[in-house]
Amino acid sequence: MFRVATSTKDMPMRLRLTLLGSTLLALVGPPVAPAAEPNVSDGLLPFVEKNQLAGAVVLVASADKVLATEAVGFADREARVAMTTDDLFWIASMTKPMTAAALMMLVDEKKVALDDPIEKYLPEFKAATVLAYQDKDTTLLKKPARAPTVRDCLRHTSGMPFRSALEEPTLDRFLLRDAVRGYALTPLQYEPGTKHVYSNAGINTAGRIIEVVGGTNYEDFMAKRLFVPLGMTDTVWRPTAEQMKRLAKSYKPTKDGTNLEVIPVTQLAQPLTDPHRQPVPAGGLFSTAKDTAAFGQMILRGGTHGDKRLLSEAAVRELTGTQTYGVLGKGEGGYGLGFSTSRRAKVGGPAVAGPCGHGGAYATHLWINPDNKLVTVYMVQHAGFPGEGGRARDVFEQAAAKMYGK
> Given pLDDT bands bounded at 50, 70 and 90, which one contains residue 390?
confident
Number of structural domains found in the chain: 1
> Given pLDDT bands bounded at 50, 70 and 90, which one contains residue 163?
confident
Q: For residue range 262-299, what is the model confidence (pLDDT) as tens digits?
A: 999 989 999 999 999 999 999 999 999 999 999 999 99
The letter for the amino acid at 179 is A
Q: Give the model's pLDDT for residue 29.
A: 46
Residue 372 falls inside a structural domain: no
Please compute, for residue 127, the number of CA atoms within 13 A of its CA located in the half-sphere on the CB side. 7
State how far the Cα of 75 lies from the Cα of 78, in Å rounded to an integer: 9
Coil, strand, or helix at residue 45?
helix
Could you tell me if 300 and 319 are in contact, meaning their C-beta atoms sit under 8 angstroms apart? no
Please compute, for residue 256, the number of CA atoms within 13 A of its CA located in the half-sphere on the CB side. 3
CATH number at residue 189: 3.40.710.10
- Asked whether the predicted pLDDT for residue 7 surpasses 50, the reply is no
Please compute, for residue 169, the number of CA atoms within 13 A of its CA located in the half-sphere on the CB side. 4
DSSP assignment string, 312-354:
-HHHHHHHHSB--TTTS-SSSEEE-SSSEEETT-BTTSSSS-S
Could you tell me if 357 and 335 are in contact, meaning their C-beta atoms sit under 8 angstroms apart? no
Q: Give the model's pLDDT for residue 169.
A: 80
Coil, strand, or helix at residue 302?
coil
Q: Which helix (H) or strand (E) holds 276?
A: none
CA separation, residue 53 to residues 58, 90, 174, 264, 359 (Å): 13, 16, 34, 16, 17
Residue 402 falls inside a structural domain: no
Q: Mean pLDDT check: name the lowest of 279-288, 333-342, 347-356, 359-368.
A: 347-356
Q: Give the model's pLDDT for residue 388.
A: 65
What's the chain's average pLDDT?
89
Residue 141 falls inside a structural domain: yes
| Sign, Cα dihedral of 366, 369, 375, 378 | negative
Could you tell me if 362 and 90 are in contact, meaning their C-beta atoms sit under 8 angstroms apart? yes
Q: For residue range 319-328, what is the model confidence (pLDDT) as tens digits?
A: 999 998 877 7
* Burial zone of 308 (CB within 10 Å; 0-12 exposed, 13-18 middle, 19+ buried): exposed
Q: For residue range 59-70, what is the model confidence (pLDDT) as tens digits?
A: 999 999 999 999
State how far the Cα of 24 lies from the Cα of 400, in Å rounded to an integer: 29
> Given pLDDT bands bounded at 50, 70 and 90, which one contains residue 247?
very high
Length of the chain measured in residues: 406
Residue 5 falls inside a structural domain: no
Residue from 153, 100, 61, 38 nearest 377 by CA: 61
Could you tell me if 60 and 67 are in contact, meaning their C-beta atoms sit under 8 angstroms apart? yes
Residue 102 falls inside a structural domain: yes
Q: Give the model's pLDDT for residue 6.
A: 55
- Asked whether the predicted pLDDT for residue 34 surpasses 80, the reply is no
CA separation, residue 80 to residues 54, 107, 150, 230, 344 (Å): 10, 48, 47, 33, 44
Residue 109 falls inside a structural domain: yes
Q: For residue range 181-215, what is the model confidence (pLDDT) as tens digits?
A: 999 999 999 999 999 999 999 999 999 999 999 99
Q: Give the model's pLDDT for residue 296.
A: 99
- Over residues 71-90, the mean pLDDT reads 98
More confident: 308 or 38: 308
CA angle 217, 107, 189 (to 5 degrees): 75
> Given pLDDT bands bounded at 50, 70 and 90, which one contains residue 2?
low
Residue 50 falls inside a structural domain: no
Give me the domain span that covers residue 160.
Answer: 98-219
Share of the chain above pLDDT 70, in %: 86
Q: Give the model's pLDDT for residue 10.
A: 38
> Given pLDDT bands bounded at 50, 70 and 90, which one contains residue 170?
confident
Gyration radius from the chain CA atoms: 22
Q: Give the model's pLDDT for residue 348.
A: 60
